[in-house]
């Protein structure tokens, strides 16, 4: 399925967004992780301590930013080795939360993923939020 783009990557500024959702599937995350501007965009969220949600193969882009190192996270099972090699503590759980990152494995995990993502994203601007950056 294709959707029209309402803002091109060249025009998008991380400071204009409060949170980021990295898509699952194989094609989109694979295309994002080899696009330097997309990797820089994602890295800016981690550098700023903004919330990020990632499901399935979405962590491929996180690996490219260097932000997987030292995080406890999950993903589609085939990314286990890549995440471990990138310094992450990979676990086989339906959802993980580590600082500003929520991650899930697969479509069946979406209810738990959505609940944790909403919880994390709702903290944007909350008192004490800046202290975690």
The DSSP H or E segment spanning 64 is helix 59-65
Q: Which residue has the tokens 């697969």?
A: 106
- Cα distance between residue 87 and residue 69, in whole Å: 4
Catalytic residue list contains 102: no
Q: 57, 71, 105, 116: which is the annotated catalytic residue?
A: 57
CA separation, residue 24 to residues 11, 53, 60, 129, 130 (Å): 23, 10, 10, 27, 28
- Cα distance between residue 109 and residue 40, in whole Å: 28
Q: Which residue has the tokens 């029209």?
A: 4
- Cα distance between residue 8 and residue 63, in whole Å: 23
Where in the sequence numbering do the catalytic residues fall? Answer: 57
């Amino acid at each position: 399925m294709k959707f029209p783009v309402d803002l091109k990557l060249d025009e998008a500024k991380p400071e204009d967004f409060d949170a980021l959702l990295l898509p699952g599937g194989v094609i989109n995350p694979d295309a994002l992780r080899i696009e330097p501007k997309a990797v820089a965009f994602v890295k800016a969220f981690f550098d700023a301590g903004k919330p990020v949600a990632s499901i399935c193969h979405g962590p491929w882009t996180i690996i490219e930013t260097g932000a997987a190192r030292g995080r406890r996270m999950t993903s589609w099972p085939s990314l286990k080795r890549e995440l471990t090699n990138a310094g992450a503590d990979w676990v086989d759980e339906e959802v993980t939360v580590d600082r500003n990152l929520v991650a899930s494995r697969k479509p069946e995990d979406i209810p738990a993923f959505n609940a944790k993502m909403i919880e994390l994203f709702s903290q944007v601007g909350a008192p004490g939020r800046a202290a975690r950056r």
